Amino acid sequence: MSLLTVALVGAETLLGEEIRRTLEANDNLALTLRLFAASKESEPDEDDTLLLEPLTEEALNTVDLAVFAAPEDIVRRFIPLATAAGAVCLDTGNVGRDDASLPLAPLQPGAPLPTLSLLPTATQLMLARVLRPLQELAPLQRLVVSTFEAVSTYGEEGIDALRREAGELLNGRPAPATLFSRQLAFNCIQNSVCEESWCEGMRQILGSPSLGIAFTQVQAPLFYGHAIALQVEFAAPITLAATSAALAACEGVGIADDVATPADAMGSDDVLIAAPKIDASVEHGLSLWLVADNLRLEAEAVVSLIIAATEQNTSA
């Protein structure tokens, strides 16, 4: 049996670095890891300790699994080449989010990856972790979801854009929008891109094709860490004691003593929840506030999929 060959394309991006660190913490994996730059050029990192392979049209020909944490132009060019060469591809970005034919990567343990799949977004991963144990208490009928998302979703480009805008405004100068549709520093922007596909993806993850979802996505002036305001309507009665117990027993979920902020979640593997509350505006309602380290959550999901692929390769 040969070791699974895994390529990480974009190993120097914010998410790529987090995936690499998470893989390094699982150093007993039966795989060969190849690290590629998110461009054609191979450059060492700032500490001059990591030399990435250059990304060429032939680079992915001998790869079993290719994980893309790269800009859209790289993804659009190299995923077709990788799949044509026989690789299974996982895209962590937004290319194809509005294509209903592209499946999300399965979150169920042991499920094989399709030839091409999309990693669920950080907000979908947050909700999946919280809502799955609640589904066991009573069927879900409707969700009202408002997400407040950090600019690290856009990588270094997002970090630089927010830092520049904040610096200009603090020095009394105008900060014209560059990356975002409006000035983001000391502001927030509602984003309706991929709303429909996000909701469909959430139904797919939860196995609830008829679930009603009202979704609002907000770009927040945060560097790192996502937050979600969530109202859940159940199809049957629930109690606060039962929901609190189910969440407290769920691996990867933490209950905050009082408030929970994105800053509190930095460096944590958990989705943090402020104390759940009954939502009396509907018959069987629950209100929650969730926060998480978005990059860490996505990296953890990617590595879990890689681990599952190595186990399937070992048992084949």
* Domain identity same for 127 and 247: yes
How far apart are alpha carbons 230 and 216 in whole angstroms? 11
Q: How many residues does the chain have?
A: 316
pLDDT digits (tens, 9 = 90+) for 175-214: 999 999 999 999 999 987 788 999 999 999 999 999 999 9
CATH number of the domain bearing residue 200: 3.30.360.10
* Domain identity same for 155 and 283: yes
* Domain identity same for 129 and 86: no
pLDDT digits (tens, 9 = 90+) for 4-16: 999 999 999 999 9
Q: For residues 36 and 9, is the Cβ–Cβ distance under 8 A?
A: yes
What mean pLDDT comes out for the span 150-174?
Answer: 97
- Percentage, residues of the chain above pLDDT 70: 96
How far apart are alpha carbons 42 and 23 in whole angstroms? 21
List helix spans (H) across the chain.
14-24, 72-84, 122-135, 156-170, 195-206, 240-248, 262-265, 294-315
* Domain identity same for 189 and 261: yes
How far apart are alpha carbons 232 and 297 in whole angstroms? 22
pLDDT, residue 45, reads 52
* Domain identity same for 28 and 176: no
pLDDT top residue among 16 and 51? 16
* Domain identity same for 255 and 227: yes
Q: Does position 40 have pLDDT exceeding 70, yes or no?
A: no
Report which DSSP code applies to 44.
B
Q: Does position 68 have pLDDT exceeding 90, yes or no?
A: yes
* Domain identity same for 54 and 178: no
How far apart are alpha carbons 54 and 11 in whole angstroms? 11
Q: State the Rg of the chain over Cα.
A: 20
pLDDT digits (tens, 9 = 90+) for 237-279: 999 999 999 999 999 999 998 899 999 999 999 999 998 999 9
pLDDT digits (tens, 9 = 90+) for 213-241: 999 999 999 999 999 999 999 999 999 99
* Domain identity same for 177 and 189: yes
pLDDT, residue 264, reads 96
Q: For residues 120 and 138, is the Cβ–Cβ distance under 8 A?
A: no
Binned at pLDDT 50, 70 and 90, residue 297 comes out as very high
CATH number of the domain bearing residue 93: 3.40.50.720
* Domain identity same for 158 and 108: no
How far apart are alpha carbons 294 and 302 in whole angstroms? 12
How far apart are alpha carbons 162 and 29 in whole angstroms? 37
* Domain identity same for 42 and 80: yes
Q: Does position 43 have pLDDT exceeding 60, yes or no?
A: no
Strands 88-91 and 65-68, sheet pairing? parallel
* Domain identity same for 211 and 266: yes
Q: For residues 265 and 295, is the Cβ–Cβ distance under 8 A?
A: no
* Domain identity same for 187 and 159: yes
pLDDT top residue among 73 and 99? 73
Q: Does position 108 have pLDDT exceeding 90, yes or no?
A: no
pTM of the model: 0.94
pLDDT, residue 316, reads 63
State how many domains the chain has. 2
Element (H, E) at 190: strand 189-191
Phi, psi at residue 12, to the nearest 5°? -100, 0
What mean pLDDT comes out for the span 122-137?
Answer: 97
Q: Which domain holds residue 61?
A: 4-120+298-315
pLDDT top residue among 40 and 122? 122
CA distances from 112 to 93, 98, 116, 265, 315 (A): 20, 23, 11, 30, 13
- Percentage, residues of the chain above pLDDT 90: 83
How far apart are alpha carbons 286 and 140 in whole angstroms? 11
Q: Does position 50 have pLDDT exceeding 80, yes or no?
A: no
